[in-house]
Structures are given as structure tokens and as C-alpha cells.
Amino acid sequence: MTSDGNTAHESTGAAAGPGAPADPGAPQTPASLVRMANQIASNVAHKPHDVAVEQTAGHLREFWPPSMRATLQAYVDAGGTGLDPIAREALARVR
Amino acid sequence: MSRVRVVDLGTPAVPGAATVDVVVDGLPVSVPAGTSVMRAAATAGVDIPRLCATDSLEPFGSCRLCLVEVDGRPGTPASCTTPCTPGMTVRTQTPRLEKLRRGVMELYISDHPLDCLTCPANGDCELQDMAGVVGLREVRYGLDGANHLDGATDDSNPYFSFDDSKCIACSRCVRACSEVQGTFALTIAGRGFGSRVSASAGESFMGSECVSCGACVQACPTSTLQEKTVIELGVPTRSVKTTCAYCGVGCSFVAELRGDEVVRMVPDKDGGANAGHSCVKGRFAWGYATHRDRQLEPMVRERITDSWRVVSWDEAIAHAANGLKAIQAEHGVGAIGGITSSRCTNEEVYVVQKMIRAAFGNNNVDTCARVCHSPTGYGLKQTFGTSAGTQDFESVMHADLVVVIGANPTDGHPVFASRLKRRLRAGAQLVVIDPRRIDLVRSPHVAAAEHLQLQPGTNVAIVNALAHVVVTEGLVDRAFVAERCEADSFAEWESFIALPENSPEATAEITGVPADAVRRAARLYATAGNAAIYYGLGVTEHSQGSTMVMGMANLAMATGNIGRPGVGVNPLRGQNNVQGSCDMGSFPHELPGYRHVSDAGVRGIFEAVWGTTIDPEPGLRIPNMFDAAIAGRYLGMFIQGEDIAQSDPNVAHVKAALGSLELLVVQDLFLNETAKFAHVFLPGTSFLEKDGTFTNAERRINRVRPVMAPKSGRQEWQVACELATAMGYPMDYANAAEIMDEIAATTPTFAGVSFERLDAEGSVQWPCNDAAPHGTPIMHVDGFVRGKGHFVDTPFVPTDERTNRKFPLILTTGRILSQYNVGAQTRRTPNVQWHHEDVVEIHVHDAETRGIRTGDSVTITSRVGETVLRAKVSDRMPQGVVYTTFHYPGSGANVVTTEYSDWATNCPEYKVTAVELAPTSRAPVTEAEMHAEHQPVAGRP
């Protein structure tokens, strides 16, 4: 778990420093949705690709409200930087 | 001692089918083989005098009151320690026995105060009763000899006192502390005339290992151990059976009262979950219900910076309804939602989720299970088909091997822990998987065979390693798997788990646990006979919480440890009704009974009964609500009995979200941290005022009966009905029983449940329906609910939360015995004497390199925030791990926890936060400082 201090292991959404909240005032939605979608994808990535995509799509259909799916789909339409390929394909299946 | 004259048969029941026939005072009676003569007599309606015997404790044979005569045997044996034999003929009343008993009582009374009329136990004293029963008329020894009448009183415990002058040294208290509670804090010091009860080695009760469970007080036949409330108020005059409102054990209690004032809470011997035992919280810490901090009147304000204004119920309801409707008119149906409580009754929760679905018109409803056991619901549903534990608590008494993972039951579920310790003392083995050295690892007469002290965040790696051993060493129960599980998913999982990367040797580097220890633990689990897993939030509150639950389910299925007593996968659910809250459809994707909102057939059932349409799409989870609020798309909220501004992670983010709302309605007992952001405050009811049911961790539905009228003038379900009606959806019930009837009519697993049935049976464990009219203690007996058990591959995916040079330590959080959750209840009781502030525990080496000593103020800093706590140097955690609790709002434990969560359920990863600690001159924020942040109530000083 412990890195050698290399910032390559810093997690996303890093704070500006101790005591500073992680940008609570700005709409975190695209970044947090990307993180959540990528997390789902990484937990099924060991499956054959099509199975992983379908399981991710199924999860999004079953647990994500339409508003969240739409927000992330709009993000994909705008380029979808940082979105895992499995998650990207899954979103296409739930349009 | 308890006021209600509970039938006490003298000695414990003996299990077994074989019976033996005896005759007692001419009355024939048939009892299980091994039953004592005393209990056989009581069964026949003959009460043999006794003082040291009670049916919650093993017989002791010390008081010599219970002597009997047995045909064909010399002497006068003690009936409590004499087992029945076939054809035995017993006489309990003869001139010889009467003379002996009077003599024994004379000796007791010669060394006992004779102030009965002013004694707190007057009328409720077994010594007094026995003196009457044996016909004592004189004490020929006089009262001038050596005696213990100047014995001191120990008042150190806030809830009970120990008056040594009244002690008859019957040892009931000592035996209760050892047999029932398992703490072994009491002993008899000295011998002969010098025998006296001693807490630890002559300590005060408060200074000893006593955990204040009160078992000794309940066992005491005199006023030696006496509740201070009885001393103050007198003996209770009436009683009401109800259920505890603290943890997920769900202890049954008899509330003993004078009028509507509670004098004491006595654990119900017939309680299915607790069998007459309790902990300090349930038994003693109920004073918060009448605390001066209770906010009993509705209040409103336009802005959260305004003072509160006390208003009528009608005005408060109208203000809330109009505000919520206005938000929807401007921003859409989905712009509002709510959170149900895990501390309110099933009926109250059902009504709130109905209000949200029918009156709000959306599925934006969630519950605090989101942040604790939502992975349990997901994981067990995927594998077994039901979102709940598989056993009842009694099952542990049949276990040969118990695995405790990510749980600390002696603190979090103490009454279950007492039962577990009893089984461990009887020979069952224990494996603990936890970064901390919890008390169970080594405590009186209990020692774990293995303690796998893994690094936080590596649960899945270790469960995979255990399963790898099972599969590769030929320990799979092939017959069970072939009969009960899916062949294809098992085959796929078997190949996956056998991969070298899942071996104990390969995972040792990840988990920090030596491979040989993992192999020993796995072999124990697979070969012990009955092996049971008990787990808590140390499993679920991780980025792979759901995966870990499925991993444990895989392990249980692979070894055939499902479907009978002594085995199973058992979530130790935290709150009194978190199970019920989930059962009642508090999730945004599920209607009551865990049925998806997209299922048209299920929607049709509710639409027909509710007379409205239900949204077929899932709604927002709590973390999604926060994001949507900050994004300006979610602007109105109803929060029932939850303090998310203290309990949820990344408090800065939560507060930003709450601050973004245009209307927040809070229903609670007190003005809490969340209420600082509220525009409407609706007073709630404590468990002493509620009428309904709670469902505990073993799916046991227990009645909650009111001992006093609602102090606010409204039951909480009535308030939700009025709010729904004001929003245009008329909703009303005659009483809480009618709500449960509707639940039963719409939810197959509850079909047989009603207040009438619960009154008749005491409690039932769901499913309770035509197939199981008396409920279902053990699930998946003949088959899994989903048909065949489903195996799920569980690859280890490390959390994104990593330590580095800036934040080199891992913070994990938990609870302690005397405090509960955010402390709203326990902080308002004398329990603060045990824990008046949260502290951060740090390993001695980590403390040394930072110049930190016990008692120092330290900053705890993560990438999202910083707080200040006092440090405690400890060796209970491995180096690199720090630990704290979250019972005080000023502690700010959740100021530093992050937004990372379980991939499947968004259950927050409370157990893994990268932090750094450093000494500081700042002091921790006090409770008074936090309370001062509340706006005043207009017109109040």
C-alpha cells in the first residue's frame, strides 16, 4: 500500500493541501461519475470483454438513475476523457 | 431482581429428546433427561425455596435452602444440583426439611440488615420472600455477633450501587458475570465468614473490568446490587414489553414503570435475540428519551442563518409541503427526495418511502444502510438470493469454528458476543481477521486460534487466499456444491480461485499476513464441522465491500457451510432497524421486499394498493443526492432520524450539499449537526413512545410498544401521512398495526406478519408466510432462495486510496461499547463517564517517530480535511494504522474520510483513509462549541 512518496500514486481529486476540502463547491458530477463508472468496469475487467461490457451496462441500468446515465452519456459525447473503454461501451448499450 | 414476577424454574433447561418420569409431592411429571429435581418440581407447579439458584445460571448448591428428601436416598440433597433419575420419588415439604430451611434462613437473617420497610427492594426481595415461605419467626442468634452490617456501599457505577451490608454471598452475581456476560469481573474474595463479592481485585465496580451490563444486578436476589433509579423512584408498578433501540442485536426488554416514568429496563428472558441478557446501553442508557435537549415542538425558518421559530404542526407541515411542491414545480419531479432512518420502526420507514414514491413521485429514497451494510444486501442477493443473513443468533451455539471478520462484537454487538464467548468457552475455535487486536483475540477463557492481522483494504485478497487453499488442497464439499450450486459458475470460480496469484504466498505481500497462518485458518474453516462467518463494517465499508461479501459467500458454499444451525454468513448489522429499513424498500432501486422498481408486476401490486403510479427507474443514492445538490439539480430533502452531517464521509462535501438545498426537513429527537442546515424541524419520537416493529440482524421482527404517549403529540408515521396529504397524496392509517397489515399484503416475505401474530409468538423471523407460518430461523435449508447458489469471481482490485509520503498512515474507524453511532442518544446519558471524547489510537512506534504521547492533541490530516483529537498510544493496531471513533460531533472523524466507496453500492470506504498525524497546540473541538453553532430558538433563553 505504501508508495515511495512518488506522486504517481496520488488519488484523483487531490486536495490543495491539509485542511482544504476537495472542491466541494464545484459540481463534481462528471468526475465522480467517471470514477464510479471506471470502478465498476475495473471490478469486471477480468471477464471476457463482451461479458464485462454487458455486466457494466446491467449495473448501470439497475442502479443508476436516468439523470446520472444522461450526464455521463453527455460527457462521453463531449469526448469522455478518462472513461474506461468498458464503461464507455456499456454506456452506449444503455442509451 | 425484576419487578414483574417472571416464572423462574430454578435451573436451566436441558436440551434433548429423551425424558425421565419422576414424582414430586405425589405429582407425576415428565422432564428431559438431566433436568434437576428443582426444575422438575417447578414444572409440576411446586416451588422449592431457593436463594442461589436461578434458571439463567448453572446450579451452584450453596444456599442449602432447596433441600429435598428422595425415597431410597440418605440425607437431604440440594434439589438444584440433583438430576432426576427414572422413577425418583421426591418430597419437598417434610418437618425435617422445614426445620432445616428455617435454620438456614435464621443464619442468613442474623447477618442482614432488618430495614426492610425502607429498603429499595421492599416487596421485591427474594430473601424477604424466602423468610416468609419458610415461616421464619425468630432469629435466636441475636444481632450482636460478628456480622457484615457495616459493609461499605460502592456507588462508583452511575447506574447501580453495591451495598455490601446486604450481600448474602450467594454468588449469583459472580456467576452471572462469568456465565452470562463472559467478562469475569467479579469474584468471591476470602473464605468462610470472610467471603465477600469483589470487583476485580478489590477495585470499585467502575475501576474494574466490569462492563456494566447489569447481569449481576438482575441476578441479585436482594438489594445488594440495586438500580439507582429504583433507589430513587421506588419499585415499579407496571410493565410493558418492548425492544431496544440501539444495535442490531435487538434485545427484548420489559420496561418497568411507575405511571409513564421508566424505572428500569429489564432484559426479557423470553427475548428471542437476547434470552434475558443486555448491555450497558440497552439496560441503562435510555435517559436520553426524556433529556432536556429533546426538541418537542415543530419549528421553521426561512434561511438556515435565521433563528428558529416554534410553530404549530399544521403550519410546519404546510411550510414543508408548499416548499417541496414549489421546488418540484420549478426544477422537476426528481429535484426532491428523502432519507429514511435505521432507528425508526418498520411502519415509520414504510410510510416515509411510500410518501416519497407516491407523494413526491420519484424513487429518490435511501437509508443509512447505504453507509454500512448495503454491500451485504448486494453480495448476498447475488450469491444466495436474499439480502440478509442466513442464521439466527442461537445458531452460534452449534458452531465448531467461528470466523469474525471486520467486526468487534464485544463492543458493537455485546449481547451476541456474550453468547459467542459462551460457545468458545465450551470448545469452539475462533479465527479473527482484523487489522486490530480486538478483545476477542484474547479475553478471559477465550483465545483465537488464529488472528490474521491484515492491512486495511486487503480483505478480498485474504478471502481469495483462504478459498485458494480450500480448492487446491481438496477441501471443497463436492457433494454440497453438486446438489445445491450452479455447476457453471462454480467451475468458473474454481478455475479463477486456483490461480497462483490468489495463493496465500502470493497474497502475503498484499495483506501482510504470513501464508502459513492463512493456510491454517482455511483448513480450520473447511474441516471443523460447522463453520460460521460473522462480519461487520470492516468488511463492507471498503471499495470492494460487495466483492468481499461475495467472497465469503463463495467460501461458505464451497465448504457446505450453509443451511443448518452452526454455519452461515452472518452480517452483524449495526442499528436497531437497519435490516428493517432495507426490508421496507428504502433503497432507490427496490420496493419493499427487495424487488426492483423496474419489475412491472411488483409495481402493479403497490400501484393497486397505493392508487398511484410508481417510477420504474432507480432514484438517487445518498452520495448521488449530495452531488446533485451541489450541481443545483436536487434542492429539497426530508431526512428522518439520520445525522448525515456527522455520520457520512467527507463532511465538507456533505455540508456543502446540505447548504445547497432550498428546503431541508429534518425529523429527529434533537437539534443535531444536520439540523443546522434545516428549514423545517419536525420533532420525532423515541423508542419509548413508538408503536411498531424493529427487525434485527437475524431478520427477527420484534414489537416496539409505547410506554408513554408521544411527547411531541404525534407519532412519526402520522407526520409523514400529513405531509404526504398536504402534498396532494392523501395518506392515513388508523394505527401502526394497519401499516404492518399493508406491508404484509404487499410483501410476500412478510405475508404472515401482523401485530396479532407478534403478540402471540413474541417475534418471528422473516420469511413468515404460508410456507413458514412461524418464521424462518435458518435460511437456505433445502435450497437457496434464488434456486442454486451462484459463485462470483472476486479478483482483488486495490483501493484508489493510497498512502504516500504526505499521508503515510491508514485511518480506520469503529465503535465502542458505551457509545453508539453518532452519540446522539448515549452522549445524553451517564455513559459519557466511560467515553467522554473520541481519541485516536496510534501504534507506539508511529507515535515515537512523531513525538506523540498519550493525551497529546494531534492533528489528523487527509487529502480532504483536518481535525484535532487526543492521542492514545496503543499496540492494538499494526504499525502504520491508526484508529478512532465518531461518537462526538467535534471529533470530526468524517471531516477526514473520503468520497471513495464500494464499486457496487457506493458504501463509503470509511475503513481506509490515508492520513498523517502531528502534535498540535490546538485543542479538540468540544461538544459545547459544536452545539453553540446552532441558531437560537426565538423566545427561548
Q: In the numeric block, which cell numbers belong to residue B506? A: 502470493
Distance in angstroms (rounded) separating the CA atoms of residues B885 and B862: 16
Q: Is A6 on the interface with B (CB under 8 A)?
A: yes
Say which residue the cell 420533532 belongs to. B683
Residue B591 contacts A where some CB pair is shorter than 8 Å = no
Q: What is the pLDDT of residue A22?
A: 29
H-helix segments, B244-389: 280-284, 313-331, 346-354, 374-383
Confidence of residue A17 (pLDDT cuts 50, 70, 90): very low
CB proximity B616 to A under 8 Å: no
Comparing CB atoms, the residue among B598, B800, B866 nearest residue A11 is B800
pLDDT of residue B579: 95
CA distance B188 to A31: 64
* DSSP 8-state symbol, A9: G
The reply to whether residue A14 touches residue B863, judged by beta carbons under 8 angstroms, is yes
Indicate left, alpha or beta for B317 from its phi (over 0: left) and psi (-120 to 50: alpha). alpha
State which residues of chain B have pLDDT below 50: none
What is the 3 state secondary structure string of B747-780?
CHHHCCCCHHHHHHHCEEECCCECCECCCCCCCC
Rg (CA), chain A: 15
The enclosing H or E element of B464 equals helix B459-472
Predicted pLDDT at B4: 63
Residues of chain B in contact with residue A11, where contact means CB-CB under 8 angstroms, are 800-802, 863, 898, 900, 914
Contacts of B509 (CB under 8 A, 6+ apart): none
Dihedral angle, C-alpha B631, B632, B633, B635, nearest 10 ° = 130
**Residue type (1 letter), B327:** I
Chain B residues within an 8 Å CB radius of A47: 793
> Could A6 and B864 be called an inter-chain contact, meaning their C-beta atoms sit closer than 8 Å?
no
Q: Are B415 and B274 in contact (CB under 8 A)?
A: yes
User: What is the reported pLDDT for B2?
Assistant: 57
How many Cβ atoms from other residues are within 10 Å of residue A74's Cβ? 11
**Bond preceding residue B767 cis, omega within 30 of 0:** yes
Using CA atoms, how far residue B179 sits from B18, B420, B629, in Å, is 26, 11, 53
How distant is the Cα of A54 from the closest Cα of chain B, in angstroms?
15
CB contacts, 8 Å: A25 with chain B: 630, 656
Task: Bin B204: left if φ > 0, else alpha if -120 < ψ < 50, else beta.
Answer: beta
Cβ partners under 8 Å of residue B735, min gap 6: B691
Are residues A40 and B903, on separate chains, in Cβ contact within 8 Å?
yes
The residue among B557, B511, B515, B510 whose CA lies nearest residue B533 is B557
Chain A touched by B631 (CB under 8 Å): yes
Q: Which residue of A has its CA nearest to B916?
A: A18
Chain A contact set for B656 (CB, 8 A): 21, 24-25
Is B923 touching A (CB cutoff 8 A)? no
User: For residue B926, what is the DSSP state?
Assistant: P
B11 — contact with chain A (CB < 8 Å)? Answer: no
How far out from the chain centre does Cα B896 lie? 26
For A39, which of B620, B880, B903 is closest by C-beta distance?
B903
Grid cell digits, residue B374: 448495503
Using CA atoms, how far residue B23 sits from B26, B30, B85, in Å, is: 6, 9, 10
Contact A22 B631 (CB under 8 A): no
CB B179 within 8 A of CB B58: yes
Q: Which residues pair with B570 in a beta bridge?
A: B534
Residues B849-864: b if buried by 16+ CB within 10 A, e if exposed:
ebebeeebbbbbbbbb
Mutation target vs B (from A43, A44, A62; most B CBs, 10 A cutoff):
A43
Q: CA-CA distance, B310 to B938, in Å (whole number)?
A: 7
Please indicate whether, in this complex, the C-beta atoms of A36 and B864 are within 8 angstroms of each other: no
pTM of the full structure: 0.94
Cα–Cα distances (Å) from A65 to A68, B369, B444, B753, in that order, read 6, 19, 51, 32
Q: Does B798 contact chain A (CB < 8 Å)?
A: yes
Residue A10 is placed in which grid cell? Answer: 496520488
Maximum average pLDDT range among A10-14, A31-35, B727-731: B727-731
The burial of B482, by beta-carbon neighbours within 10 Å (0-12 exposed, 13-18 middle, 19 or more buried), is given as exposed
Cα distance between residue B325 and residue B335, in whole Å: 10
Which chain B residue has the Cα nearest residue A38?
A: B903
Instruction: Tell me if B803 and A2 make a contact (CB, 8 A cut-off).
Output: yes
Decide: B344 and B639 in contact? Cβ < 8 Å: no
Q: Please report the DSSP string for A53-90 in residue order.
A: HHHHHHHHHHHS-HHHHHHHHHHHHTT-TT--HHHHHH
All 3 cell numbers of residue B242?
418492548
**How large is the ipTM?**
0.88
With a CB-CB cutoff of 8 Å, which residues 56-85 of chain A face chain B? 59, 61-68
Cβ contact, residue pair A10, B632, below 8 Å: no
Grid cell listed for A57? 451496462
Smallest Cα–Cα separation from B508: which of B571, B563, B465?
Answer: B465
Strand partners, B240: B255
Contact yes or no for B589 and A62 at CB 8 A: yes
Where do the structural domains in chain A lie, given as residue ranges? 30-93
Mapping DSSP to helix (H, G, I), strand (E, B) and coil, where does residue B486 land? coil
Identify whether the C-beta of residue B29 lies closer than 8 Å to the C-beta of residue B23: yes
Residue of B nearest to A34 (CA): B903
Of B455, B543, B656, the CB nearest to A24: B656
User: Rounded to a whole number, what is the distance in Å from the CA of B357 to chain A's nearest CA?
Assistant: 14
